[in-house]
Structure 1
Amino acid sequence: MKEKETILTSDGLKKLEEELENLKTVKRREVAQRIKQAIEFGDISENSEYEDAKNEQAFIEGRIITLEKMLRNAKVIENEDVGKDTVTLGSTVVLKDLEFGDEFKYTIVGSVEADPDANKISNESPVGKAIIGHKKGEVVEVEVPAGKLEYKIVDIL
């Protein structure tokens, strides 16, 4: 089975590489030290420090495997790949809610980088899916659990 492609901006790629490096160099060492200290306390069968450290170690190793797989299958969207005519991955768009008149500014990113609090929405989200491929001035309909929303693409930055 083919592994899923991970779509990233260059910033997203850098963040994942930094996280992986931190897990491999700093976190692995810290958890190994915690396990060593817990073993020094004696009987590990009823040692919660040891159990916690082993669980954290398993989490770290799992995350390292996940990050390595994501980076191996990364497709980086470069700034020069992002046009100003049509909404694509990497585009920053200004949308106007036609019902309430509110304007929102979003950057369309791959699902790995999605962070609604930072106005980064996934290309797989309802809004992201709806606006990709559309041009400035177009009105798009977005199916959401609450019903249908209409947005006008005010600008592509």
Structure 2
Amino acid sequence: MPTLPMTAAGHAALNDELADRTRIKRPHLAERIQQAIADEPNLIENSEYQAALGEQRLNEARIAELESKLARAEIIDVSKLSGETIKFGATVTLTDQDTGEERICQIVGEPEADPAKGKISFSSPLARALIGRFKGSVVAVQTPGGGKSYKVEQVRWLP
């Protein structure tokens, strides 16, 4: 099974979510199911039971997914990385060549990617275009909205 590279922060976030789902959400859902059964023993017509059971299934599926990801995690310590060349873990400041808009993003593992928070997967089109480049480089990326060009303004190594 292939490893999943991720930052220490991403690994900690997945561990936190797993702990929340196993220690808090799982018992809460079990209580909801028990209460729904106590309130209406006819399970076929018990909508609260069906809803809680559905939530429990989703929670258990996410727990299994998190456990699998954590078991395959390869933690990359970004604080030990350096250099001018962009690679996994780099925090990059970019300028959109068309709009002049600045964008800051960190290249992270797929499990921790969240573009809305500036964390892009190393396998995303933008990250693939950036990896191996350096400050001053201009990269072209195809996006669903069309082509984009960015200039690399800064490369930093933040934990």
TM-score by length of 2: 0.90
Q: Work out the number of aligned pairs and report it.
A: 155
Q: CA deviation at 1:133?
A: 1.2
Question: Which range moves more in the overlay, 100-109 or 59-68?
Answer: 100-109
TM-score by length of 1: 0.91
Alpha-carbon separation, structure 1, partners of 2:145 and 2:25: 42
Matches of residues 123-142 of structure 1 in structure 2 within 5 Å? Answer: 123-142=122-141
Alpha-carbon separation, structure 1, partners of 2:144 and 2:42: 53
Alpha-carbon separation, structure 2, partners of 1:30 and 1:107: 35
Q: Which residue of 1 aligns with 2:3?
A: 5
Q: CA deviation at 1:147?
A: 3.3
Q: Percent identity?
A: 39
Query: Quick one: higher RCO (CA 8 Å, sep 6+), 1 or 2?
Result: 2
Alpha-carbon separation, structure 2, partners of 1:87 and 1:81: 14
Give the AA of the match of 1:127.
L
Equivalent pair of 1:82/1:88 in contact (CA under 8 Å): no
Matches of residues 57-96 of structure 1 in structure 2 within 5 Å? Answer: 57-96=56-95
Provide structure 2 residue ranges, at least 5 long, that are not aligned to the other structure. none
Equivalent pair of 1:86/1:132 in contact (CA under 8 Å): yes
Q: Is residue 47 of structure 2 the alignment partner of residue 48 of structure 1?
A: yes
